[in-house]
């Protein structure tokens, strides 16, 4: 049975004071033993960290970008987050969609995705673009259920840059997915 998520969620922009908690959340959802409590783990593909405080600081200080956080109303705990950036006149990038591993399957990921799409629409973009590790077919399938389309475009994995983790295999690359969110 999936955990329940209250409808009393608040979506706020991450600030400097949130970076340490965000780093713990993101790394716990994607890497190490804690990530295996959920289905978004990358632990079999990548070791090391998924992000760090400096990388998150760079993201929140990037022009036309922000990290949205989901919190229970009147509470400080961060249940999930998503990184968003306007990358062109008509396209926003969505990445680092993260849900606490113990809450995965609760519908929070879909709520974060919708919040990200609303953010992009407010920025005046018609498209959302994302990259997903190609060796994550279950994650790609989930995004496809949410209306995203896998394109023919791919991107190389940043081998040698341990800020993104330590690859456990040599064939990693990213698939590009897109979704039209407005006309």
SS (H, E, C) 75-134: CCCCCEEEEEEECCCCEEEEEEEEECHHHCCCCHHHHHHHHHHHHHHHCCCCEEEEEEEC
CA dist 39 and 140 (Å) reads: 12
- pLDDT tens-digit map of 42-101: 989 999 999 999 999 999 999 999 999 999 998 889 999 999 999 999 999 999 999 999
- Give the C-alpha separation, 23 to 10, whole Å: 19
| 151 CB-near residues (< 8 Å, 6+ apart) | 175, 176, 177, 178
Domain ranges of the chain: 9-129
Range with the largest mean pLDDT of 46-50, 143-147, 157-161: 143-147
CATH ID of 9-129, from 3.40.630.30, 3.90.1150.10, 2.40.50.100, 3.20.20.70: 3.40.630.30
Q: What pTM was computed for the model?
A: 0.93
Q: Which of 63, 54, 105 is nearest to 84 (CA)?
A: 63
Q: Quote the crossing angle between the two packed helices 19-30 and 53-60, to the nearest 10°.
A: 110
């Amino acid at each position: 049975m999936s955990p329940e998520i209250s409808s009393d969620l608040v979506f706020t922009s991450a600030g400097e004071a949130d970076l340490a908690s965000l780093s713990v959340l993101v790394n716990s959802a994607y890497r190490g033993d804690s990530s295996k409590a959920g289905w978004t783990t990358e632990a079999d593909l990548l070791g090391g960290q998924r992000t760090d405080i400096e990388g998150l600081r760079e993201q929140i200080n990037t022009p036309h970008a922000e990290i949205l956080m989901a919190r229970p109303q009147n509470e400080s705990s961060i249940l999930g987050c998503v990184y968003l950036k306007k990358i062109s006149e008509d396209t926003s990038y969505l990445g680092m969609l993260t849900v606490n591993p113990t809450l995965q399957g609760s519908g929070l990921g879909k709520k974060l995705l919708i919040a990200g799409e609303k953010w992009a629409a407010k920025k005046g973009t018609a498209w959302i673009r994302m990259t997903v590790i190609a060796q994550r077919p279950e994650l790609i399938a989930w995004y496809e259920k949410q209306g995203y389309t896998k394109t023919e475009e791919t991107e190389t994995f940043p081998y040698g840059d341990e800020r993104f983790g330590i690859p456990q295999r040599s064939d990693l690359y990213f698939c590009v997915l897109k979704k039209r969110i407005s006309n």
